[in-house]
């Protein structure tokens, strides 16, 4: 396994549609291992092949960051040639990206999705996700079609502006809770 360089916004590889993977070869398995190592080293919850300079329809996602049990929390899904087969509802998500460092954006995403894809053993799986997990899978899926979240965000801000906004919202919520107890 090896750490790979993360492609940054402005590189045209991030704007292109990726090619279907025809066979799961040792090189594809090595790519998946490298992507996992790179994602974890960068403290990400997902990474797509074009983010490491490879134009293949594959991403990894680790969306259960708040799960109570360690096995679920650390589960990494490998999605080869994924396809979102169902979308339901709308949610506003706050998103960042390893390829867009220092920024956050507000994006409307489906509340619930169904997605199918092949794993490294050649077995096709279908999963249903909602909330944050659905956002992670949609975000990574978009990378395979050359879409970065700033392309579809309804608002962009620096990470510092976002942190300040969170602090203000937290303080406002604490004030409302205190007033309700009086």
Which residues are tagged catalytic?
A: 140
Q: Spell out the long-range contacts of 59-64 with Cβ–Cβ below 8 A and sequence spacing 24 or more.
A: 59/35, 59/140, 59/141, 59/143, 59/144, 60/32, 60/35, 60/36, 60/140, 61/136, 61/137, 61/140, 62/136, 63/129, 63/132, 63/133, 63/136, 63/137, 64/133
How much is the CA Rg of the chain, to the nearest whole Å? Answer: 17
In DSSP terms, which residues pair with 48 in a beta bridge? 59
Residues ≥6 apart with Cβ < 8 Å to 30: 1
Ramachandran angles phi, psi of 133, nearest 5°: -60, -45
């Amino acid at each position: 396994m090896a750490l790979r360089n993360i492609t940054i916004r402005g590189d045209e590889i991030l704007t292109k549609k990726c090619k279907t993977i025809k066979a799961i070869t040792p090189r594809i398995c090595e790519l998946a291992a490298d992507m996992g190592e790179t994602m974890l080293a960068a403290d990400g919850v997902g990474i797509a092949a074009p983010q490491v300079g490879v134009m293949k329809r594959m991403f990894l996602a680790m969306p259960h960051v708040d799960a109570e049990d360690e096995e679920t929390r650390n589960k990494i899904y490998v999605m080869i040639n994924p396809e979102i087969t169902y979308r339901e509802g709308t949610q506003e998500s706050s998103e960042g990206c390893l390829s867009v460092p220092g920024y956050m954006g507000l994006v409307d995403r489906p509340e619930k999705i169904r997605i199918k894809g092949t794993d490294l053993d050649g077995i096709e799986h279908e999963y249903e996700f909602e909330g944050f997990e659905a956002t992670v899978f949609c975000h990574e899926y978009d990378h395979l079609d050359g879409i970065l979240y700033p392309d579809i965000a309804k608002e962009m801000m620096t990470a510092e502006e976002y942190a300040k906004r969170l602090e203000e919202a937290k303080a406002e919520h604490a004030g409302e809770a205190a007033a309700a107890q009086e």
